[in-house]
């Protein structure tokens, strides 16, 4: 039980602790105050005593796929925030849609941005795809450095619209094919593809 420092009549704590005695799945209960630190040492010592010493299941510095997916989302979001300085980034839904390790060891990562309004999509995409292209190039470059392998990053921008109570999503896709050419990073911006569901 935390925040026991806020209880004025300590007899009330004893009443509550009696109720915990018969709860299944609990060996002990602790009365602590995180703010004042009372009881925390007892809890920590109990947890240390319960811990089983054994070798790590994974290498401490190894990156799992889930960690890599999370990093990819954070890197792309960071680059978006660097390029969009208005309130727009905070209403955009950003999702990881696809993650594949290819035969050559590179990664194919597809992420979608879903904007509530067409005008917000236009700001995110930029003139002729320049803004989303820049976001993709910068994010791809950073992901290659972090993952130490080639990354094929695909960013799509969708506009969510409600029509007569039925939600429809228009897909406006800008596919970025980013290739590392020995020293220079080159970007080819394909023509926009429009999909409707």
Residue spans per domain, the chain: 4-50, 65-196
Residue segments in the chain with a per-residue pLDDT below the cut of 50:
163-197
Q: Where are the beta strands (DSSP E) in 56-196?
A: 93-101, 107-115, 151-163, 166-173, 176-181, 184-189, 193-196
pLDDT value, residue 104: 95
38-46 LR contacts (CB < 8 Å, sep 24+)? 38/4, 38/5, 39/4
pLDDT value, residue 95: 92
Task: Give the number of C-alpha atoms closer than 13 A to the C-alpha of residue 129, restricted to the C-beta side.
Answer: 19
What's the Cα-to-Cα distance from 104 to each of 3, 7, 42, 81, 152, rounded to whole Å? 55, 62, 52, 32, 12
What span, in angstroms and rounded, lies between the C-alpha atoms of 48 and 50?
Answer: 5
pLDDT value, residue 180: 37
- In terms of CATH architecture, what is 65-196? 2-Layer Sandwich (3.30)
Residue for token digits 């005695």? 21
Q: What tokens does 96 get?
A: 């990881």
pLDDT value, residue 144: 96
């Amino acid at each position: 039980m935390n925040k026991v420092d806020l209880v004025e009549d300590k007899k009330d704590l004893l009443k509550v602790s009696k109720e915990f005695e018969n709860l299944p799945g609990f060996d002990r209960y602790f009365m602590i105050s995180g703010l004042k630190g009372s009881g925390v040492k007892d809890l920590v010592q109990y947890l240390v005593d319960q811990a089983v010493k054994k070798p790590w299941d994974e290498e401490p510095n190894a990156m799992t796929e889930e960690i890599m997916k999370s990093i990819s989302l954070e890197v792309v979001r960071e680059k978006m925030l660097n390029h969009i300085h208005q309130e727009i980034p905070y209403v955009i839904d950003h999702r990881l849609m696809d993650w594949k390790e290819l035969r050559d060891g590179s990664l194919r990562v597809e992420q979608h941005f879903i904007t509530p309004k067409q005008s917000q999509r236009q700001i995110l995409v930029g003139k002729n795809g320049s803004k989303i292209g820049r976001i993709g190039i910068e994010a791809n470059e950073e992901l290659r450095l972090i993952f130490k392998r080639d990354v094929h990053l695909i960013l799509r921008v969708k506009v969510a619209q409600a029509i007569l109570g039925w939600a429809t999503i228009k897909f406006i896709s800008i596919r970025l094919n980013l290739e590392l050419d020995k020293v220079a990073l080159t970007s080819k911006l394909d023509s926009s593809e429009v999909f409707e569901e």
